[in-house]
Structure 1
Amino acid sequence: MVEAASGARRRSALRMGITKPPAVAFVSRVEAMVGGAPESVDGSANGADRFTHRIVDGVAITQCDPPGTRRAPMLLVHGGCHGAWQWEPWLPWLARSGRTVMAIDWFSHGMSRRLEHDEWVHRGILDVQTEIGVGVDQAPGRPVLIGHSMGGLASLAYAISHPGRIAALVLLSPVVPARFSGAPIEVPVDREGLWPVPPPEIARQLWFETAPEAHLAAIYSRLQPESSQAVWEATRWTTGLAVDALDVPVLVVVGARDQLTPPDVVAGLAEGIGAAFITLDGVGHGVVFDPGWPALCERIDGWLTAVEEPGTES
């Protein structure tokens, strides 16, 4: 009962915190993020030296190549209000396991092509399949597709609609299709404008509750507004997908404290698609930023090893 009451208070705080968006601040933040070299979220001074960057068909791709043995490449898809920068600590870690690791920016995010305002406002989550397709085409082989939050739903949709194009699918705190929906998340959404970056205390509850204190300001400064259509779909669970057509191995991961994609809802998706399933104790929606991310990467790599080499212990 204590945990339930605490969760109710947090949800109430989310509703109250987003009702007065910092409209001017979020527009200037988007403009400030256009172009420029990414800096490392983990504070590494040589972060930019580890990565290569290119733009293909308007899609910005950040890439980290392995020093040795080659395994299936990886393509990482960020969530709403974020960008490829969220994966910067992950890229070299995953590459050391012998994989080329790539992360894309959605259109109007990071360094990718900017959309006209109305197109961006009304762009849905499934439209991100376009950027995913560009990334898949650039990968040196069939990639393992890893998507977080809204990027998880877009990745699931891509796997369903493009059979044979990816080797495996990893969904981190994914937004789920309507078939597996839970109760609506009643955050205010103006359907005719961009959804603004919430105030810092609300953003932390939403995305990086367990991130190290020293990294909070750096993470928050890189958040950006999001398509209101995408936010509506993510919080009202309106997207339909024919998941029975899925034909690749899938791993689903969720934090036990996740308020945006609740564990019971995500567990229903995992069961419905026959996926391996991991719940992370004490972690919220921002599994990418939690200090335990290296251990999560190890579990993902172990699962992939078992999938790639049947009979191998994960």
Structure 2
Amino acid sequence: MSRPTLLLVHGAWHGSWCWEPLTAVLHADGWEVRTVDLPSAGREAGVQDDARVVLQEVARIDGPVVVVAHSYGGVPVTQAVAEAPNVVHIVYLAAYQLEVGENLLGRHGAPTPSNPDGFQAVPDQPVPLFYADAPTADAEAAAARLVPQSTRSFSETVTAAAWHTIPSTYVVCEQDQALPPQLQEELATRAGTVHRMASSHSPFLSMPGRFAALLTKIASEPAR
């Protein structure tokens, strides 16, 4: 069977640029890789807007697709790919594997704002939060590219949960300072398979070779 295409979906405040180190490793190994830019990073867009972008990109791909969702990216991926017949696996990388009716804020015990307009500013000290184990120059360069995130994307609820019908794998980042590992472990109970990495929130930047090896192993195995 031919290899699936890997579709990489970034998290909040980020863009497709964050995948560049990982993409370089995957391309060198012969993998076809696609990325998207979610409109909620930098624009007042919500989960449904992001989900449409993901679904449109999946529809452009011929053949099977493995979707890799990082952090907030798990929310629109969960929403979108329930409608995508060529998606064969979802990989949640320190990501929000939500159930129908849940939103990101709720998973942290935070209330849904009555007015979801506006933006969530780039967090203070993003380097230790997102890239604690990445080379300093790479971490600082990535932090400089972060943009405000739409509040609506954190407050909109999921109305479909693709992981009920599509096999999924959860990758727990055990040294994560952004999404607590305990919460990741709770979310990971919804996945068919769980892997763990001794990394901070962004192993695609801090250890792209090791994460690429894990990702290609997942994508090459029979779906569960």
Tell me the TM-score normalised to structure 1 length.
0.61
Structure 1 CA distance for aligned equivalents of residues 209 and 36 of structure 2 = 21
Consecutive unaligned residues in structure 2, runs of 5 or more: none
Aligned to 1:277: 194
Residues 21-80 of structure 1 show CA distances to partners (whole Å, capped at 9, x for unaligned) of xxxxxxxxxxxxxxxxxxxxxxxxxxxxxxxxxxxxxxxxxxxxxxxx952111111111
Asked if 1:184 is matched to 2:99, the reply is no
Bigger drift between 76-85 and 249-258 goes to 249-258
2:48/2:76 contact within 8 Å kept: yes
Structure 1 residue matching 2:204: 3-state secondary structure = coil
Q: Is the 8 A contact 2:8 2:67 kept in 1?
A: yes
Give the whole-Å Cα distance in 2 for the aligned partners of 1:245 and 1:102. 21
More relative contact order in 1 or in 2 (CA 8 Å, sep 6+)? 2
Match of 1:301 among 211, 216, 220: 216
Instruction: Map residues 51-66 of structure 1 onto 2, 5 A cutoff.
Output: none
Q: Which amino acid aligns with 1:81?
A: W
**Aligned to 1:212, which of 108, 131, 135?**
135
Given that 1:125 and 1:150 are in contact with CA atoms closer than 8 Å, whether structure 2 keeps it comes out as no
> SS of 1:89's equivalent?
helix
CA distance in 2, matches of 1:284, 1:298: 17
Task: Output the CA distance in 2 between the equivalents of 1:270 and 1:140.
Answer: 29
Is 2:179 the counterpart of 1:256? no
Q: CA deviation at 1:276?
A: 0.9
* Alpha-carbon spacing, 1:276–1:108, altered in 2? closer, same or farther (3 Å): closer
Query: Structure 2 vs 1, CA of residues 227 and 182 (structure 1 numbering), >3 Å: closer, same or farther?
Result: closer
- The partner residue of 2:73 within 135, 146, 151 is 151
Contact 2:63 2:86 in 1 (8 A): no
2:36, 2:57 within 8 Å by CA — same for their partners in 1?
yes
CA displacement, residues 153-180 of structure 1 (integer Å, 9 cap, x when unaligned): 21122233x1523121111111242399
How much is the aligned-residue C-alpha RMSD, in angstroms? Answer: 3.0
- Give the residue type in structure 2 aligned to 1:225: P
**Residue 224 (structure 1) shift:** 0.9
1:247 counterpart = 2:168: no
Find out whether 1:84 has 2:7 as its counterpart: no
Say which SS state the counterpart of residue 144 (structure 1) adopts. Answer: strand
- Change over 3 Å in CA distance of 1:175–1:87 after alignment to 2: same
Kindly indicate whether the alpha-carbon contact (under 8 Å) linking 2:78 and 2:162 is maintained by their aligned counterparts in 1: no
SS in 2 for 1:75: strand
User: What is the count of residue pairs matched by the alignment?
Assistant: 219
- Residues 261 and 216 from structure 1, CA distance in 2 versus in 1: closer, same or farther, beyond 3 angstroms? closer
Q: For residue 62 of structure 2, what is the amino acid of its counterpart?
A: P
Percent identical among aligned pairs is 24
Q: Tell me the distance in 1 between the aligned counterparts of 2:16 and 2:188.
A: 25
- In structure 1, list runs of 5 or more residues that go unmatched: 1-68, 115-119
Given the two structures, how large is their TM-score scaled by the length of structure 2?
0.83
Q: 1:103 corresponds to which residue?
A: 35
1:252 aligned partner, one-letter code: Y
Aligned to 1:32: none
Change (3 A) 1:184 1:251: same
